[in-house]
Structure 1
Amino acid sequence: MKTLLALINRNRKLFFRDKGMLFSSLITPIILIVLYGTFLANVYKQSFESSLPEFLDVSGKLINGTVASQLAAALLAVSCVTVTFCVNLTMVQDRANGSRKDFNVAPVKKPVIYLGYFFSTVLNSLMVNLLALVICLGYIKTMGWYLNAGDIVLLVIDIVVLILFGTVLSSIVCYPLKTQGQMSAVGTIVSAGYGFICGAYMPISNFSKGLQKGMSYLPSTYGTSMLKNHMLRGVFEEMEAKGFPDEVVTGIADSLDCNPVFRDHVVTTTEMLVVMIGAVLVLGVVYLMMTAVPEKNQG
């Protein structure tokens, strides 16, 4: 345990010492919220307004609060995963600069070394994404606040689970990489594509039936939906208080991917959490099995 803690502290210090890695990780959520607020806010707003029945009189605050909550959930869904790929660069750097050669001759088991990378990535990513959550909450506060303390607690839990998912996924992907160029290429691909796969950039309900069915098998779909459900719970409650018909509220929730369907079954938030935890455990076993196999050319 002492060895593992020493490795975690060592990796965390390297992360803070590398100003480029630290800055890129911290700036990612800020860039995302600026881009989302600039380019996606109007798209989301127009889509939401066009879905409302004409007989409903909806306040600007409720509309803006709905859009802001949707944007914040989408941003966090992407950031929690993509940031882990940035933070996990330490694993690849150690291979590239030869630091792994020192570990290879030290009396430290190989899985312990990789668990050190894993937990340091979790802690550093948690720091970055909790900062992103604070920024998102500030943005929502200016647009339309409908959250309570319970919602925020659930959002923190969602973030922790998504970071665990992102960390184990990035650890598996980064494991065979040996150069920073390879890692940069992987990071670029993930940053560009993950937002579409998880339904952050565009609700999955807007995709074709075939794509919707295929994406219902991906854990990322339910991670994003968890965030949306907890971020928008107060908004839906306010709609009901304003006299919105139940079918209208349900229709809005469906359009925002709050009620994902798997094999004709509407997945609840509890089931979403179980799916995400199950995915973390399965991928975690895969990662441990990978690290247990001796490497032919270490370093």
Structure 2
Amino acid sequence: MNAVLTLTHRNLRAFFRERMRVFFSLLAAIILVLLYVFFLGAQISASLTDRLPGAQAADIDLFMRSWVFAGVVMITTLTTSLGATSVFIEDRVSHRFDDFLISPLRRTHLTLGYLLSAFVISAIISLLILAIAQAYLLLSGGGMNAPQLLSAVGITLLCCASFSALSAFIASLISSEGAFSALSTLVGTISGFLAGAYVPFGALPAAVGNVMTALPFAQAATLMRGPLTENTLATLTDSTPGAGAEIGEYFGITASLGDLSLTPGLIVTYLIVLGVVFLGLASWRIGRSLR
């Protein structure tokens, strides 16, 4: 166990030592915030005003901030998980594996070190972003209560675990830093769209929305939006009975796939199964790479 923790610490230092690596892991989330501030915010707020003509502008703005931050946190769990696996790619390309293999370390320890460090890196950064979101929303007059915050923390850690396993498996298939860089750029570009963070699901064609909803990224975003928007959505729709369900479906706070309602319990189960499956596949692939 000490060997695994030592390797994990080494991988953490290698990741955080490169500031640009950390920055690019957060780039997709930064882009989402900038898009909201300069372009999307006004359009989506206008759409909400049309749907809820009696709503206060302050309530609309606070709901939008909560909704955007939910997308930011979810995207961060994905992009930082993938970015953390860059240490594995770097070691592979630079042939540091050769040094590891002649040491007394077991291959299982090396594998666990990479997998655990990817999760820890993602968890540290994602929870920091969640804390910033909570502080900002509290200062703006919103924010989550204690049970909602605990729920958001649990969802964040679940997303970090599932996406770290998925990212580790993907990284095990890549043999060059150029290919990994291209993949990271692609994921950072499309992650916001796949999560329904750029355009609400209700504004998309039904067929497109169904395909996106079937993917784990949209479902993880739906799960994340629950605790972050619960209070602001209730305040926003308080004067319009029945509007909460409509707004929730339009903005991807609730989701369904055909006739199947994707409850939080169902999504949690899906993400756990996804994480377990890809954890096994990633362990197998990384173990083969270390031979």
TM-score normalised per structure 1: 0.89
In 1, distance between residues paired with 2:19 and 2:176?
19
What's the counterpart of residue 184 of structure 2? 187
**Aligned-pair distance for 1:139?**
3.3
Question: Contact 2:81 / 2:122 at 8 angstroms: preserved in 1?
Answer: yes
Which runs of structure 2 are paired with 1:264-275 in the superposition (5 Å)? 264-275=259-270
Contact 2:135/2:143 (8 A) holds in 1? no
Give me the identity figure in percent. 22
Identify the residue that residue 239 of structure 2 maps to in structure 1.
Answer: 243
Q: Identify the residue that residue 159 of structure 2 maps to in structure 1.
A: 162
Whole-angstrom CA distance in 1 between matches of 2:24 and 2:218: 26
Distance 1:170 1:278 in 2: 15
Distance 1:207 1:249 in 2: 19
Q: Which residue is equivalent to 1:104?
A: 101
Q: Which residue of structure 1 aligns with residue 51 of structure 2? A: 51
1:92 aligns with 2:122: no
- Structure 1 CA distance, aligned partners of 2:100 and 2:216? 34
Amino acid at match of 1:123: V
CA distance in 2, matches of 1:257, 1:16: 33
The separation in 2 between residues aligned to 1:124 and 1:158, in whole angstroms, is 16
Partners of 2:207 and 2:129 lie apart in 1 by: 33
Instruction: Tell me the equivalent position of 1:151.
Output: 148
Moved more, 261-270 or 116-125: 261-270
CA shift for structure 1 position 171:
0.7
Aligned to 2:34: 34
Cα deviation digits, residues 202-257 of structure 1 (max 9, x gap): 122322222222223212221000111111111233246x3321x21111111111
Aligned partner of residue 58 in structure 1, secondary structure: coil
Match of 1:138 in 2: 135
Pairs within 5 Å for 1:215-226:
215-226=212-223
SS of 1:259's equivalent?
coil
Unaligned runs of 5+ in 2: none
CA distance in 2, matches of 1:261, 1:120: 34
Structure 2 letter corresponding to 1:38:
F
**Structure 2 CA distance, aligned partners of 1:29 and 1:214?**
23
Query: How far apart are 1:174 and its partner, in Å?
Result: 0.9
Partners in 2 of 1:208 and 1:187 — Cα distance? Answer: 27
Aligned residues: 291
| Worse-superposed segment, 125-134 or 102-111 | 102-111
How far, CA to CA, are the matches of 1:68 and 1:30 in structure 2?
14
Which amino acid counterpart does residue 162 of structure 2 have in structure 1?
Answer: F
Alpha carbons 1:12, 1:120 under 8 Å: kept? yes
1:212 maps to what in 2? Answer: 209
Does the 8 Å CA contact 2:78/2:160 hold for their aligned counterparts?
Answer: yes
Q: Which residue of 2 aligns with 1:174?
A: 171
Per the alignment, in what secondary structure is the counterpart of residue 216 of structure 1? helix
CA displacement at 1:157 relative to structure 2: 1.1
| Partner residue in 1 for 2:277 | 282
Is 1:262 the counterpart of 2:218 in the alignment?
no
**More displaced stretch, 38-47 vs 161-170:** 38-47
1:94 counterpart letter in structure 2: D
Cα pair 1:25 1:128 within 8 Å, conserved: no
Q: TM-score, normalised by structure 2?
A: 0.91
Amino acid at match of 1:58: A
Cα deviation, residue 11, structure 1: 0.8
Partners in 2 of 1:33 and 1:131 — Cα distance?
16
Q: Secondary structure at the match of 2:214?
A: coil
Moved more, 282-291 or 104-113: 104-113
Unaligned stretches of 5+ in structure 1? Answer: none
In structure 2, the partner of 1:7 is 7
Q: Which amino acid aligns with 1:127?
A: I
Specify whether residues 139 and 46 from structure 1 end up closer, same or farther in structure 2 by C-alpha distance, changes over 3 A only. Answer: farther
Q: Tell me by how many angstroms 1:135 deviates.
A: 2.4
